[in-house]
Structure formats: C-alpha cells, structure tokens
A and B are shown apart, each in its own frame.
Chain A
Amino acid sequence: DVKVTQSSRYLVKRTGEKVFLECVQDMDHENMFWYRQDPGLGLRLIYFSYDVKMKEKGDIPEGYSVSREKKERFSLILESASTNQTSMYLCALMSSRDTDTQYFGPGTRLTVL
C-alpha cells in the first residue's frame, strides 16, 4: 500500500508566523504534490516536485514555497501566514509503480488567527 503521512492533522497559527507543513512517504516515489482544499472551490494545486530539489509551481503558488531536500519529505512553507491561508492542506504522491495515479495523505487543517 502507498502510505502518505502528514505531520499534523490540526494546526493553529497566528498571522505573520512562519508555518511548515510536512509530508513524508515511506517508499521511493518521485512525484509529490501539495493542494489546498476550500469549500466550493475543490482542490487547487499549490506546488509539486518531481525529484529531490526540483519543484514546479501549480495553480496558486502565491504566498507559499516548498522544500524537497530528501526524496521522502516534501515540505510546504508559509513564510508569513495570513488569515486567507486558513484551509485544508493535502499532500499527494504519484507512485512510480502505478504511474499517473495520485495517492493522498489525511490532510492538515490549518487555522490562521
């Protein structure tokens, strides 16, 4: 089974704080993705990475950055959190054994006060 772990299920931060959301996989999959999910808007792609130290912007990268120093870990960074970044954040990966299919983690619900 493909397993995607997100470091926190719930997170509460204050405006202006730097926030790290972590996503970890236990296999050797190359492609990892960060989405945010908002009611009525569905899922929107923030960033993705297809290898270590490689990253590509998705549809809504503004206000976010990412880090992929090791293959198993893909971090989403909010440099200065704002209230409009309150959302559910979902990490996904694409299995190298089941290409073109994405598998999702349980999500992190972030609230920015």
Chain B
Amino acid sequence: AQSVTQPDIHITVSEGASLELRCNYSYGATPYLFWYVQSPGQGLQLLLKYFSGDTLVQGIKGFEAEFKRSQSSFNLRKPSVHWSDAAEYFCAVAPRNSGYSTLTFGKGTMLLVSP
C-alpha cells in the first residue's frame, strides 16, 4: 500500500531564513504529488503539484518543490520564510490515471517562524 512520510513533526525557522520540508513516499509507480498548506482553523490550500515533466515545480506564495525519483522524495522549499508562512504543511500522493483518484496524506509538518 502507498504511504507518505513527513519525518519532521515540527520545524522552527527564523524569519528570512530558508526552508526545506521533507516528504518521502512509498509507491509502486511514480504517483501524482502534492503539497498543501493549512493555516490554523482553516481548510487545506493547494501549494503546488507534480504530474510530469520538469522535476522542479513552482507553486504559490514563493514555494517550490523538487521531485527526485531515485530518492522517492518531493521536498518543499522556500528561499526566505515570512511570518505568515507559519502553518501546517501536508504532502500527499495520488495514483496516476485512476479516474477518481484518492489522496494519501502524510501526517503533516508544523512550521513555526521565529522573529
């Protein structure tokens, strides 16, 4: 069965510093890959997704993610973190071409931003 691992439950980053959130997946074939962000008390907002093509994907709010097939990873990055980025981040995968694909989520990484 597919699984998604986000090894860091919490990460604290200083404002203005760079950020990398890790995501590894276990799957039979390369799935579709997603990153979502959830602010406190809110639903999930899609940051970016990877289906095929260029392995470096640009998203909203200045985020990017890089797909590395050899490492089964899809890490999220941002060069300079803002206080408003404090939130919980979820990596998710979905099988390719399933028609009505369902998502499998990691358990999330809570990002704290210090002044």
Question: With A40-B107, A101-B46, A104-B45 known to touch, is A33 a contact of B102 (CB < 8 Å)?
Answer: yes
- The residue of chain A having its C-beta at the shortest distance from the C-beta of B91 within the complex is A42
- Shortest Cβ distance from B65 into chain A, in angstroms? 15
Residue count of chain A within 8 Å CB distance of chain B: 25
- Shortest Cβ distance from B23 into chain A, in angstroms? 12
- The residue of chain B having its C-beta at the shortest distance from the C-beta of A42 within the complex is B107
Question: With A48-B100, A50-B100 known to touch, is A106 a contact of B43 (CB < 8 Å)?
Answer: yes
B interface, how many residues as a size bin?
20 to 34
Query: Are B90 and A100 in contact, CB atoms less than 8 angstroms apart?
Result: no
Chain A contact residues, CB within 8 Å of chain B: 4, 30-31, 33, 40-45, 48, 50, 58, 90, 92, 94, 100-107, 109
Further pairs besides A105-B43, A106-B43: 5, Cβ < 8 Å: A43-B44, A50-B99, A94-B101, A101-B34, A101-B46
Going nearest first, the 10 A-B pairs with the smallest beta carbon separation are A42-B107, A104-B43, A104-B44, A50-B100, A43-B105, A106-B43, A42-B105, A31-B100, A107-B43, A105-B43
